[in-house]
Amino acid sequence: MSHRNTLDGQIALVTGAGKGIGAAVSKRLASMGAMILLAARDREQLAAVQQEIASAGGRAEPAPLDLREESSVAALAQSVKERFGRCDILVNNAGIGITGQPLHETSPAAWDEMISTNLRGPYLMIRAFAPLMIEARAGHIVNISSLAGHNPLKNGAAYSASKWGLNGLTYSVAEELREYGIRVSAVAPGSVNTEFGGGSKDGSWKVQPEDVAHVVAMIVTQSPQSFVSEVKVRPLRKP
């Protein structure tokens, strides 16, 4: 069964869209007919993803964004409201991971950058775009979390804390917005084969970015009466 036109007419905004999971999600949703707003700081990466989507017959445009800056998020939300009047899908994917050292050796600057990007960023995005969804009484917000948001992560406490926090935010906002027909979901992958965290030479055993994109596509095409709260995605093989 083809899902080519499943999302026709919908506007999807994906953060961290220049590479990895964000790029894969953007391409997948574009292939289903959505207009993709590619949000990230690196304009060259966004242009490359936009070109790939266009070459495949999809629609996308760059939406330069620094989600650590409230003014940048607000400006993008205002632009989306004026141009499209709607935001049907918001995928909060952008994140950073600084691991490899115990918390007592982690600098306050590293802590602040991680929490600002991984937790405050999604808060700012939801704060800015939820009103458009409330007005429409429909929408999907998908937060890309991590299995590190459920498990201890030795030498990665700050990253783990940001993802535990994102999970708590997700579950709570879901309760706040479900009465408006808005579904807020978390996708928690394990080891993903991306440049994130340094990557590895052989990532074939890991979860692939396209695997996460497949889950996001499933979430945003749920039947109207169902609500997928969270999906955990693990590699079939253990490292």
Q: Kindly report the CA angle at 139 between 138 and 144, in degrees rounded to 5?
A: 160
What's the pLDDT at 65? Answer: 96
CB-neighbour burial class of residue 90 (10 A; exposed 0-12, middle 13-18, buried 19+): buried
pLDDT tens by residue, 71-122: 999 999 999 999 999 999 999 999 998 889 999 999 999 999 999 999 999 9
| Rounded-to-integer distance, Cα 184 and Cα 74, Å | 20
Catalytic choice (123, 159, 171, 180) = 159
pLDDT tier at 159 (50, 70, 90 boundaries)?
A: very high
The arithmetic mean of pLDDT across residues 172-185, rounded, is 98
Tell me if 237 sits within 8 A of 205, measured CB to CB.
yes
The model's pLDDT over 187-237, given as tens digits with 9 standing for 90+, comes to 999 877 555 444 455 667 789 999 999 999 999 999 999 999 999 999 888
- The domain limits of the chain are 11-233
**For residue 208, how many other CB atoms are within 10 A of its CB?**
18
Q: Within 13 A of 208's CA, how many CA atoms are on the CB side?
A: 7
What's the rounded mean pLDDT across residues 141-148?
Answer: 96
Return the CATH number of the domain spanning residue range 11-233.
Answer: 3.40.50.720
Q: Does residue 124 have a pLDDT over 90?
A: yes
Active site residue 123: no
For the residues 38-65, what does the mean pLDDT come to? 97
- Does the pLDDT value for residue 63 go beyond 90? yes
pLDDT of 239 higher than 90? no
